[in-house]
Amino acid sequence: MRKVIANINNNQMHWVGDGFPVRNLFSYDRLGQAISPFLLLDYAAPYPFQPTTEKHGVGSHPHRGFETVTIAYSGEVSHRDSSGGGGTIKTGDVQWMTAASGVVHEEFHSTDFARDGGIFEMVQLWVNLPAKDKMTPPKYQGITADEIPNVTLDDEGSNLRVIAGEYLNQKGAASTYSPVNMWDGVLRAGTTHRFFVPVTHNAMLVILNGEVVVNGDQTVKANSVAVLARDGEADFEVVVNQDAKFLILTGEPLNEPIEGYGPFVMNTQAEIKQAFVDFQSGKFGEIPTEA
């Protein structure tokens, strides 16, 4: 079975803009190549928002060199970007935004969610792009919950959704630039699961809430990620102590230098400097004004 090489817990919340109260569960700053092609995961645990006429979220900001993937668990997020991409994702939906050569975008609670208020819960992941794809045109995939294959794991109500990649021949909904599996779901207390992942992939088990034990000896609590070794083993075992909301992320490592600064992730410092020059000179374009 794959060894757990890091079991990282973070209960420290910080705000991204005024709409996203997140815990950073992993980042390439610390984990680098061990989690390639994944870069970062921010988890906004369930948080109550009061009804408002204000816009909660993050205004206009750029990205280049990677993809942002937003999974809505409760509440709604609206996105608009300079490549003309945009849309609102609702509970269960996924927004897969390929910044690539560069976008300027904004991310706000939807007008409906802001007006009604309610519990907000989401995940945002950053997925790196291979060097050869970093300067391709931006792309936007708005994936609705009904497009994501759902696999039943047992009779207790445990399930797994194939957001990207595949699980037991079920193909995921998103298209990706490098081989990636992104599965999420719920594991019921008292159940045991054995997951198989490609031996050539890096792999992580993210526990958003609940509690599990991996491979008999690693207790993984809420707001945690277990990073698994790429040690030639294919499988790992999960015993569920408390109902758990999870993500399994696996991917073929890119094996390329990672040079990141703020909203840009490239391969060299020169490319980062160029990203600032291009952004400041307006080359990323502008968010279209609302009709």
DSSP 109-146: E-HHHHHH-EEEEEEEEEEE--GGGTTSPPEEEEE-GG
Is 61 annotated as ligand-binding?
yes
Is 107 annotated as ligand-binding?
yes
Q: Which amino acid is at 12?
A: Q
Is 193 annotated as ligand-binding?
no
- Do residues 257 and 268 lie in contact, with contact meaning Cβ atoms separated by under 8 Å? yes
Is 211 annotated as ligand-binding?
no
Q: Specify the DSSP class assigned to residue 33.
A: G
Whole-angstrom distance, CA of residue 186 vs CA of residue 213: 15
Whole-angstrom distance, CA of residue 204 vs CA of residue 234: 13
Compute the 3-state secondary structure of the chain and give helix, strand, coil in percent, each to the nearest 5: 10, 55, 35
**Residue positions forming the annotated binding site:** 61, 63, 105, 107
Binding-site residue numbers for Fe cation are 61, 63, 105, 107
